[in-house]
A = this chain, B = another copy of it.
Amino acid sequence: MSPTRLEAFSDGVFAIAITLLVLEIHVPTNQGENLWRALGDQWPSYAGYVVSFLTIGIIWVNHHVLLDVVTRATRALLFLNLVLLMATAFIPFTTALMADYLRASQGQDVAAAVYSASFLLMGFSFAVINLYLQRHGDLVAEVISEQERRRRVLRSVIGQLAYAVAIALAFVNAYLSLGICALVAVYYIHPGAPLTAES
């Protein structure tokens, strides 16, 4: 299979997953009198929407940087890519879970931990694809420099570590956990970040 088709299919799944996020935000029912307040009360839904949207958007960009140099798609690459898509398409669920429980008196720790864990899983399956392509130089058109390779590994490790910290912190303070996920997104988007992929 040509890598172009692989990218097109992946783009489709990324675009759909990112747009489905909105379906998990619900219109408050029978809150006419207090609609401002009811809308404000579900701020975790909006925060989750923004954080998940940006994070999936970043994965989409990085996915292109990674696959743009691939000249041939093996069965193993197809499968590893499918796992990444599976992890990504799962995020609308974990986002809804986090949003529904963040302000609850109980369960907010579990919900925030699962939310961070879904980002860790997505990042990890991305890292595996990266590793696979580095080990199979015959599949890529241009070998990246050793410096660039280190940069990418470092970037990947930092992301994974931050999400791991977010999982642990969820049991201390769920808001803090969400905050770290948001920070990771901001960090990767920042143009000055030395650890991000070239665009």
Q: Which residues of A contact B (CB under 8 A)?
A: 1, 5, 7-9, 11-23, 25, 27, 29, 31-33, 35-36, 39, 49-50, 53-54, 57, 60-61, 64-65, 68, 73-76, 78-79, 82, 85-86, 89-90, 92-93, 96-97, 100-101, 104-108, 110-111, 114, 189, 191, 196, 199
Are the C-beta atoms of A104 and B39 separated by less than 8 Å? no
Complex contact B110–A36 (CB within 8 A): yes
Q: Are B64 and A1 neighbours in the complex by a CB distance under 8 Å?
A: yes
Task: Report how far A58 CA is from B198 CA in the complex, Å.
Answer: 32
With A1-B61, A11-B5 already in contact, the answer to whether A18 and B89 are too (CB < 8 A) is yes
**Among candidates B27, B60, B86, residue contacting A97 with C-beta atoms closer than 8 Å:** B27
